[in-house]
Structures are given as structure tokens and as C-alpha cells.
């Protein structure tokens, strides 16, 4: 946790990694890009190095993030896409310049037109469009953790992934289920004068 800020949770899908910069939306929300510099840091580790960021650009980024979250959630539950969210995604996609370039190693990189936050957001918006439009191999789903419910892109063979992230939500749910089972099987003896014998 450098500088005391919440660390990043980076996934393999750019758009949903970005929506993951606000986690636990249905619990105690954690803002992982609380300052303009943290957005610059996040963009850098995501292959979209922007030179600087103003508070207004951070607002633009967060507006795009919540719009992607809203549209991806609607798509995951096969609901109509919210028009306002679609508008924001399209505006951000159109209003930045970026080009895909091929490295000597055969990998795709993004070259931002003017290294601005707007350029970076256009790449994220286009990535969101590709998954919401169903152009990529995978399935949009919602995390099974009740405090999370993040939209994620399931690329597993069976398309049965339940959590946005195995290391956080998945583990926590498993732990909660384990504790609930423990309570159900062994927790009765001695509680509130109940004299049911404990199994020996």
C-alpha cells in the first residue's frame, strides 16, 4: 500500500480492472483512485501512461468508471442498457486519441495521441464497448459476493466463474461458508442453556 493508498486489483480485462478501482460497492466501498496521481499510477501499470491528471480529469475518469459499471451490470443481467451510461462511454471513446501498435515481440501496446487522461480513457471505453457488445470470447457476470456484485468478464472454459476475483471475494466467501458450517455443526452445545450433548 504505497503512500497509504489502497492497492490496485488488476485483472486481465482492462475495462473491468478499471471498474474494480471502486470495490465493495454494496458494502464499505473502497476508492482505489482517491487522487489524480493515483489515477496516473493506475493508468501507468495498465499500459496507458498519461503525463498528468487534474481533478477534473479524475472526475471524468470516475464518471466513465461508473458508467461502465452500470452498463456492464445491465448487460450481465440482460437488462436494457442505461442510456446515460452509454452516452458517457461513447463520449469518452470518441474524445480521445490512441492507436494500437505492435511490439517487436509481437505484443499489442497502446500509443496515446497526446499522453492525456482523455486518450487513456478512450482506450478503456473502447475495451468496455467490446465486452458489452459481446465481441469478445467470454461472458459478463456479477460477482456472487453480496457486498461486491461487481461486473466481471468470465473467460473460463465452463463460463461458471462466480467471483470477480478469486483472491479477494472468492476467498472471503469460502471462509464465510466454512465458518457458517462450523457454527451449524458444532455451535449448539452450551449456547443459552441448551443441554444438547456435544458429540464425542
Binding stretches for Zn ion (CB under 5 A): 143, 145, 148, 150, 164, 169
Q: Which is nearer to Zn ion, 141 or 148 (CB)?
A: 148
Asked if 32 contacts 23 with a C-beta cutoff of 8 angstroms, the reply is: yes
Minimum CB–partner distance for residue 169 and Zn ion (Å):
3
Chain centroid to CA 63:
14
User: Minimum Å distance from CB 129 to Zn ion?
Assistant: 23
Nearer to Zn ion, 29 or 101 (CB): 29
**CB nearer Zn ion, residue 9 or residue 97:** 9
Q: Which is closer to Zn ion, CB of 132 or CB of 164?
A: 164
**Burial category of 144 from C-beta neighbours within 10 Å (exposed 0-12, middle 13-18, buried 19 and up):** middle
DSSP H stretches of helix in 47-170? 55-76, 83-94, 117-132
* Crossing angle for the helix pair 117-132 and 36-45, to the nearest 10 degrees: 60
Nearest approach, Cβ of 152 to Zn ion (angstroms)?
Answer: 7
**Cβ-Cβ contacts under 8 Å for 183 (sequence gap 6 or more):** none
Residue 20 Cβ, how far from Zn ion at the closest point, in Å?
8
Helix (H) or strand (E) holding 165, with range, is none
Amino acid at each position: 500500500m504505497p503512500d497509504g493508498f489502497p492497492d490496485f486489483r488488476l485483472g486481465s480485462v482492462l475495462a473491468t480492472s478499471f471498474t474494480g478501482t471502486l470495490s465493495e460497492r454494496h458494502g464499505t466501498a473502497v476508492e482505489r483512485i482517491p487522487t489524480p496521481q493515483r489515477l496516473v499510477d493506475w493508468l501507468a501499470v495498465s499500459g496507458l501512461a498519461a503525463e498528468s491528471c487534474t481533478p477534473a480529469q479524475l472526475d471524468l475518469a470516475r464518471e466513465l468508471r461508473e458508467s461502465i459499471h452500470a452498463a456492464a451490470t445491465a448487460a450481465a443481467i440482460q437488462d436494457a442498457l442505461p442510456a446515460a451510461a452509454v452516452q458517457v462511454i461513447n463520449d469518452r471513446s470518441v474524445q480521445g486519441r490512441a492507436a494500437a501498435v505492435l511490439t517487436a515481440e509481437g505484443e499489442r501496446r497502446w500509443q496515446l495521441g497526446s499522453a492525456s487522461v482523455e486518450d487513456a480513457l478512450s482506450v478503456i471505453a473502447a475495451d468496455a464497448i467490446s465486452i458489452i457488445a459481446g465481441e469478445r470470447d467470454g461472458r459478463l457476470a456479477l460477482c456472487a459476493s453480496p457486498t461486491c456484485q461487481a461486473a466481471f468478464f468470465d473467460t473460463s472454459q465452463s463460463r461458471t466463474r462466480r467471483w470477480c476475483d478469486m483472491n479477494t471475494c472468492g476467498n472471503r466467501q469460502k471462509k464465510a461458508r466454512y465458518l457458517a458450517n462450523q457454527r451449524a455443526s458444532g455451535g449448539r452445545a452450551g449456547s443459552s442453556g441448551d443441554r444438547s450433548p456435544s458429540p464425542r
